[in-house]
Amino acid sequence: MLRQSLISDQQLAQQVSLALEEDIQTGDITASLIHEDKEVTADLFSRQVAILCGQDWVKQTFAQLDDKVKIIWQVNDGDTINPDQIVCTMTGAARSILTAERTAINFLQTLSGTATQTQQYVDAIQDTETKVLDTRKTIPGLRLAQKYAVQCGGGVNHRIGLYDMILIKENHIEAAGSIELAMQQAIKLTETASTEEPLQIEIEVETLKELHQALNAGAKRILLDNMSNETLIEAVKINKLFSADNNTQAAKLEASGNVSLETIKGIAQTGVDYISIGSITKNLSSVDFSLRFRE
């Protein structure tokens, strides 16, 4: 995966700058106890099995604080790391390494946590054709970083924000008056929108009746919200029959709601194209890293 295709160098630098400002402000008081000429070599290692993600954030943290610190990486983003495995080695001013340590690890532990949890879901359905999607349920200010982490874990990005895709949900339908009216307005919007790429339309349905309405309204991507596996199986059948009867390409179906590592396999086996999972970016468990100076 190419990080720059999702988050630019400038955006990444801004994230790191804000994090350093939050932590350091007027200066690292404790690091001043160390002589400014003291140089050290330190190893950053993992305490658990995980998927690494966040190298560029670590690099940028040290680049902004002290670009003389040299970092040699033993692994790359997307690689599996094991307990006590050295991830990278740093050489440079002790003060700089101590001051940058927490900010660098905060990025690394958070993004690796996102990538690791994503991979667990991806692995759980690896023998199906269903893809794992992320959502907009991300840490404020770190959406693009977490979207990249999802890619590192083998997942697929849904829309990035409110600007790059039309997603018609329950309240939109209520406000518009009906599924048909909401779809009509959305289709008109795509025909007049001044975007580089054509806007995709997805609409949420909660019942098979609403699914029929969405298909008849021209929906090509449909979010099946909180449906049982039995209902999802019926939804897949309805979608295929509608496609055959109307000689059109079948709509892409996305399941959402009540997804866990225990339930995802059964959901995927219903035949849906996608499963969106908010927990991979909002309920993540950070990966445990530790930095140790060599004697």
Q: Which of 134, 225, 254, 273 is catalytic?
A: 225
Supply the DSSP symbol for 156: B
Q: Which of 77, 134, 202, 204 is catalytic?
A: 204
Helix (H, G, I), strand (E, B) or coil at 112: helix
Q: Which of 137, 143, 220, 265 is catalytic?
A: 137
Q: Annotated catalytic, 77?
A: no
Q: Which of 169, 188, 237, 292 is catalytic?
A: 169
Residue whose C-alpha is closest to residue 236's, from 200, 201, 275, 199: 275
CA distance 225 to 135: 14
Q: Which residues pair with 89 in a beta bridge?
A: 43, 72
Beta strands 274-276 and 252-256, pairing class: parallel
Residues with Cβ < 8 Å from 124, sequence gap 6 or more?
261, 264, 265
CA distance 263 to 257: 10
Q: Annotated catalytic, 169?
A: yes
Q: Quickly tell me which residue has 């008109």 as its tokens.
A: 188
Residue whose C-alpha is closest to residue 15's, from 45, 69, 59: 59
- Determine how many CB atoms are found less than 10 A away from the CB of residue 193: 11
Q: Under a CB-based contact definition with an 8 Å cutoff, are residues 255 and 267 in contact?
A: yes
Residues with Cβ < 8 Å from 108, sequence gap 6 or more?
44, 52, 53, 54, 55, 57, 58, 87, 287, 289
Q: Quickly tell me which residue has 């199986």 as its tokens.
A: 233
CA distance 289 to 235: 44
Q: Annotated catalytic, 102?
A: yes
Q: Annotated catalytic, 204?
A: yes
- Helices 55-65 + 94-124 axis angle, to 10: 170
CA distance 15 to 166: 27
Q: Which of 43, 66, 102, 136 is catalytic?
A: 102
Q: What residues act catalytically?
A: 102, 137, 169, 204, 225
